[in-house]
Structure 1
Amino acid sequence: MPWTAWAARRARRATWDLSALLNAADPRAGQAERHVWLIRLLEWLRQPHAVAADAGPGDEAPRPATTPPALLRLRHLLNVLDRHPEHHARVLGLLQACRAEIDGLALLADFGFARQRSVGGELGERMQMRLLPGTPDTADLAALFPLLFSDPADARWVEALDDSLLERVGALLGTQPLDTPALGPPAGSWQAMALDAIVILALQVAAAGLLGPVRQRMDPQALAERPFDALPRSSERLREAMRSGDEAAALQEAQYLRGLLDAARRAAGSVRQGIDDRGISVDLLLEMDQLTARVRRIDALLATVLEPAGSADRRRAWGLLLQSLVEAASERRSIRALFSRQYSMLARRIAERSAETGEHYITRDRAEWKAMLRKALGGGAVIAGTTFVKFWIVALGLSAFWGGFWAGMNYAVSFVIVHLAHWTVATKQPAMTAPALAARMGELGKPEGAERVVDEVVHLIRSQTAGIVGNLMMVAPLVLAVQLLGSWLGGHALVPAHEAEYVLKSLTLLGPTLAYAALTGVLLFSSSLIAGWAENWFVLHRLDSAIRWHPRALRWLGAGRAGRWASWWRANISGLAANVSLGLMLGLVPALALFFGLPIEVRHVTLSAGQLAAALGSLGSAALQQPAFWWCLAALPLTGLLNVGVSFALAFRVALRSRGLRVRERATLWAALRARLRREPMSFLWPPREKPPDRPAGG
């Protein structure tokens, strides 16, 4: 919790008395004391218990029951000041003294925007804001503002300010903030500062839009009008027209400036397009977010200077600007907001790539289902070899880290072999297929959309079943056969009896196997994120083009081979990253956790099935007499369910959030699933026979 929020909460625990506050208002006090008084006044407004606001000017209309307590307290304060001229004079004098010494330009032009051009730098700045206290002894309103509006809920009551309250607050603050004539604002007025802020913001928008990495990614058609070149000059012409009192020229220039802002906004939006070919950078996204936020600030400031003086529209424009500043104060303190905004597009990039890959793991007819079963059988054969190498690594008696490292390398090499052979390991599918299913969720609101989504769910479950069954059908019999062959040829089993006994103790359902299986599901999901990130990094830095066209690559490989290598890496970088990262995590996570005293292990259903088969081959038929063997066997389906379920749930959640989808039609979807289960229960496991095409009439 930031220090300012902590201080505000501590202060709210105390009961601030309005009479004491008004008596403490001293226009002759020092700058810091006056600012502390303002902070305490805002804390008094935030107190959760509302006061009964007296009737005052503009309050004749009945107020809704949902009026925020802060507004009731604000009305009460204004009414008290109207009835007590001595308090009104003290408060007015204090506010005028504050206004005379405070600089508000930085608040209008800079507040709420990142001073760093990288997410890492912005993260450090936000952490500093949360950890280090601010001081009210400042003449910069941008530094004082977060201390005044330190509660995230402030934006709600500021938004609820009506015209009568805005008018009364404006009268208390003085005539300059709201009622200065629209043209020819005097120096030092809020309108003059707003015009200066527009010029500063226009320069910053132009600088951001003309950056090389940004400009090169924008749509050339969006840059045809050269909006970033014209923005600074247009803003300066507007300021000069306003200063000279030329109303017609000011309105004409403001219209032109708004057109340039729309063009700049479209150009910034075009950067987010085409990320499949160019990749995306979170630093670039931060730059675009800041650019569009500054464009919105200019729009808000234009409304404050162009609306007629003294009108309700002008007061409302200042109210909306104040609300946006209060929201910016809350967001600038939030580390979560930084990551949720900047990584949402990267999450979508990863999810869309996973959805594209996941389509290859979904079978929709018997031919594809049988092909998936064959791929799973091949993957199970490789995992059988992985099982024996794992026992061999354990027999070496390495330290925890090196044992985990070589176990991870064993898994990684096995998964890469499966990938290059175009086979499959079933537990890797859910993290890829979940985004593919999420891509279909947008059809729920369409006619017959629920049935199409149900079809996709059925295809997915059926494909996953084929993958798991194929893996287990191959790995267990093959490991057992190799064990028996080794016993027949060498006179003893390949896996020692004490290792087999340890397997029966560790894989049992009576232990923490299910928790470890869920953790493995998290690792499976994490590998899909790493795969998406690696591919985005590969595309962002255009490494495929570098491999294809770099002079050294052309000299070593030749043009034809360099082209083939570039295409191969572009097609396989995601799969290689997923498989290598998953293998290393499966091996190293338990070793690293043990370093911190956490007895964590992984439980992968295919590897567990291979280990259990190896234990059976080592102990022989005597293992069938032990309850421990059957408890291990009972744990296998639950291990597979948790591997698949946790990985799928996490990937599905990320895919939905990255697309901004909120599935409100869950009841319809569940009803359609239940109906399909009653009507065609076997379709979830076995693809139905294709209907023969209708013969043409007379054939």
Structure 2
Amino acid sequence: MHINFSDLFLKIEKQLEDPQAVIDENLLIELVNVIRPSNPQDTDEIKKKIQAFIESLLRTPTAPFLLQTFLLRLINRYKQVSLYADSGILSLDGFWNQLGQRLGAHFLPLIEDSSQLKILIGKIFYLESDKIWLNNIDDEDWANLFSLIGQSQSNVDEKLVIQSEMIKAITVLSYRISGIGLYPEFINAQPELTEYESPFLVQNREIIEFIEKYKKQEISEHEIAVISPPDASQAFVMLEQCRDVVLKIRRATKRIGVSLSLTYLLSLLEQCLDRIELLLYLVVDNTKGKYVSLGHLISDLTKAHYSEKSVRSLLSTTSELIAFQVTENASRTGEHYVSTDTKGFWGMYKAAAGAGVIIAFMASLKILAARMTMAPLMQAFTFSMNYSLGFILIHVLHFTVATKQPAMTAAALAATVQQRKGSKTAQIAELAALIINIIRTQFIAILGNISIAIPTAALITFAWQFYLDEPLLTHTKATYLLHSLNPFTSLAVPHAAIAGVCLFLSGLIAGYFDNMAVYRKVGPRLRAHRRLASWFGQDRLNRFAEYIERNLGALAGNFLFGIMLGSMGTIGFILGLPLDIRHIAFASANFIQGLMTINGSPDIGLIIVSFLGVLCIGLTNLFVSFTLTIIVALRARRVRFEQWKPLAKLVMTHFLTRPSDFFWPPKQPLELEENTSTNNGKKADH
């Protein structure tokens, strides 16, 4: 690729010849415009344009010196410390202040200091896509480009100014790291920091010592040009120890839980460590690695220019660890919702059947509550308490609601994807086996719910008519109830999707409260509660505290799930929107109650369509909650799984060859089927 840079080099030379002229930044903007690829993702085009620029510099002997002089003078017109020490690094004022500032800046833009170097970054790389193609430049190309521009030993004063600004930024970052390391959240998460000298403090001492030695070498312009910088190896060692502490805390979050403030501080600390190491390399490294670091710094600063005002960037940076912890708790729970043998299969049926009895009573109570004339708020409260207390009772009695499982099993599936044990074929076989187990467990759980909820609801309806001599539902209400299950003419499926979203949220809520129970030490604090101990006795309180510690997430998730279901219709009424929920277990109970209370014999078409609606509601509940949860779980784990098509093909092949495995536990363990699946997978790959 041939690109003509000669005209630009002539303009730069002409401007540098006039000592009174103000350096024109538009020339640099024009240069970047020429290099900028048409497609930021096209690595071939990026490489060709960078190579063309390097070749142009080689063809014009004076060009590298001219460009170096031009860049140094332009950069030194601006204040630099803030760019090096702050750009792309979270502020110390905390998550909520940052969120408020970024939201406010979208409506009322901040006033930017035109004397800061970050303004120049924004002018040069004025397209957000610039961060993409800069990141796609090879390290070798960065090294070749900047070693060519930086080969001249001239412009010593200008270089000293930039190095001095970088040293100031290193000092700021070092003090910031030592301050963050003393925060109470860090001490609580890693108590060992108080038992020996903290690496966060030691790194500051090593950095200051390095800077003092560095400044002593600035005796004269000539000496600084020939004497290599002092050794910073000990500073790098201490910074690496700081990283080790951060890694230990991240690992410990599985045991001790995590808070938003702790995740914010961890993200901030990692950003500071990344930046200070990059700046140290630029100051002390005299190899080609220095120029690679310079390329990475430009890429990081450009990315930071667009991310430091982004609300999405803030949320993704700080919420990732909490999302991981929430879904990690959910995945551990989800493992109990997957049966692999006959014993687990029938155990799930019994648990679901027990829930079916309670669900039938909850559906009947909802019908009775709807008869009462109440204010919207009181109606929402009544419906919510019916659902919430019912779901909590189901949990306390160790029963299970079928549709609450996908939010948990999806997280377990994501955890399995992350492990990536063995070859790709073996991974796909393992995932296929897990998916088959999940589907079979979901099937028996749904069957357990509706097979008992339907006859129990029928019995309640019959008993109400027999003992009170009045139908549970009027003909009008029964007709409406059946027609509301029609998947073609009603909003049953969209309402089922809303219920699926609520199921997904309840899974996240459960994980959040499980995490909070550990991080806030709910169990130990309950055990230490003197007043409760005097009321219940210490032994009883200990058992209660242990139960709450293990089940707080499930209790909170069920309670708030009930509130979401119970208040959705009222929210729709207030907003004037047709919002409501449809849940398969309650829909099946309402289905039989509607059939039993409608006047005369119900039309066979109505029965078939309504039953089809119940099935569609169940599938929608499962699909929405499972899909949303697995997306969040995979993102929280930074996992990308590229084998969805072969995995789907393998599952479908298994369904066509052994459909019974999806509905009934195999006599032999499914591991044997994995071997078959693996062979099928290999054939599919070929």
TM-score bin (small chain)? 0.7 to 0.9
Which deviations, in whole Å up to 9, do the C-alpha atoms of 1:396-419 show, x marking residues without a partner?
A: 132334323321221111111111
Q: CA deviation at 1:284?
A: 1.1
Counterparts in 2 of 1:588-599, with a 5 A limit? 588-599=567-578
Q: CA deviation at 1:438?
A: 2.5
SS, match of residue 439 in structure 2: helix
Which deviations, in whole Å up to 9, do the C-alpha atoms of 1:540-571 show, x marking residues without a partner?
A: 21121110113333333332122112101112
Asked if 1:633 corresponds to 2:605, the answer is: no
Contact 1:96 1:174 in 2 (8 A): no
Alpha-carbon RMSD: 3.7
Which residue pairs with 1:328 in the alignment? 304
Aligned-partner residue type, residue 187 of structure 2: R
Which residue pairs with 2:178 in the alignment? 206
Taking the aligned partners of 1:662 and 1:71, their CA distance within structure 2 comes to: 30
Which residue pairs with 2:644 in the alignment? 666
Asked if 1:240 corresponds to 2:212, the answer is: yes
2:601 to 585, 608, 622: 622
Aligned-partner residue type, residue 425 of structure 1: V
Q: CA deviation at 1:262?
A: 0.6
Q: CA deviation at 1:329?
A: 2.0
SS, match of residue 138 in structure 1: coil
Which deviations, in whole Å up to 9, do the C-alpha atoms of 1:458-490 show, x marking residues without a partner?
A: 221121111111111111112122222222333
Q: Which moved more, 1:444-453 or 1:511-520?
A: 444-453
Which residue pairs with 2:552 in the alignment? 573
Structure 2: gaps (5+ residues)? 1-6, 219-223, 670-686
Taking the aligned partners of 2:192 and 2:502, their CA distance within structure 1 comes to: 42
2:446 to 453, 468, 471: 468
1:653 to 620, 631, 641: 631
Counterparts in 2 of 1:380-391, with a 5 A limit? 380-391=356-367
Counterparts in 2 of 1:260-299, with a 5 A limit? 260-299=238-277
Q: Which moved more, 1:152-161 or 1:208-217?
A: 152-161
Q: CA deviation at 1:23?
A: 13
Contact 2:355 2:399 in 1 (8 A): yes
Q: CA deviation at 1:596?
A: 2.0
Taking the aligned partners of 1:177 and 1:150, their CA distance within structure 2 comes to: 30
SS, match of residue 434 in structure 1: helix
2:146 to 163, 166, 179: 166
Contact 1:45 1:73 in 2 (8 A): no
Asked if 1:319 corresponds to 2:291, the answer is: no
Aligned-partner residue type, residue 312 of structure 2: R
Which residue pairs with 2:681 in the alignment? none
Which residue pairs with 1:530 in the alignment? 509
Contact 2:572 2:578 in 1 (8 A): yes
Asked if 1:414 corresponds to 2:394, the answer is: no
Q: CA deviation at 1:579?
A: 0.9
Contact 2:87 2:308 in 1 (8 A): no
Which deviations, in whole Å up to 9, do the C-alpha atoms of 1:173-211 show, x marking residues without a partner?
A: 983498x4xxxxx4xx11122222222211111111122
Residue 156 to residue 75, structure 1, CA distance change in 2 (3 Å)? farther
Which residue pairs with 2:198 in the alignment? 226
Aligned-partner residue type, residue 415 of structure 2: A
Counterparts in 2 of 1:125-524, with a 5 A limit? 125-133=101-109, 138-158=114-134, 160=137, 162-163=142-143, 165-166=145-146, 175-176=155-156, 180=159, 186=160, 189-218=161-190, 220=192, 224=196, 226-245=198-217, 253-308=231-286, 312-441=288-417, 442-443=419-420, 445-446=422-423, 448-510=426-488, 511-524=490-503
TM-score, normalized by length of structure 1?
A: 0.83
Taking the aligned partners of 2:585 and 2:611, their CA distance within structure 1 comes to: 12
Residue 204 to residue 414, structure 1, CA distance change in 2 (3 Å)? same
SS, match of residue 189 in structure 2: coil
Q: CA deviation at 1:25?
A: 7.5
Which deviations, in whole Å up to 9, do the C-alpha atoms of 1:161-180 show, x marking residues without a partner?
A: 544543565589983498x4
Which residue pairs with 1:183 in the alignment? none
Residue 621 to residue 148, structure 1, CA distance change in 2 (3 Å)? same
SS, match of residue 216 in structure 1: helix
Which residue pairs with 1:112 in the alignment? 88
Q: CA deviation at 1:306?
A: 1.4
Contact 1:177 1:191 in 2 (8 A): no
Taking the aligned partners of 1:372 and 1:84, their CA distance within structure 2 comes to: 76
Q: CA deviation at 1:28?
A: 9.9
Taking the aligned partners of 2:14 and 2:310, their CA distance within structure 1 comes to: 33
Aligned-partner residue type, residue 413 of structure 1: L
Contact 1:375 1:423 in 2 (8 A): yes
Aligned residues: 646
Aligned-partner residue type, residue 165 of structure 2: M
Which residue pairs with 1:548 in the alignment? 527
Q: Which moved more, 1:295-304 or 1:128-137?
A: 128-137
Which residue pairs with 1:13 in the alignment? none
Q: CA deviation at 1:76?
A: 11
Contact 1:604 1:639 in 2 (8 A): yes
Aligned-partner residue type, residue 281 of structure 1: S
Contact 1:265 1:292 in 2 (8 A): yes
Taking the aligned partners of 1:149 and 1:473, their CA distance within structure 2 comes to: 63
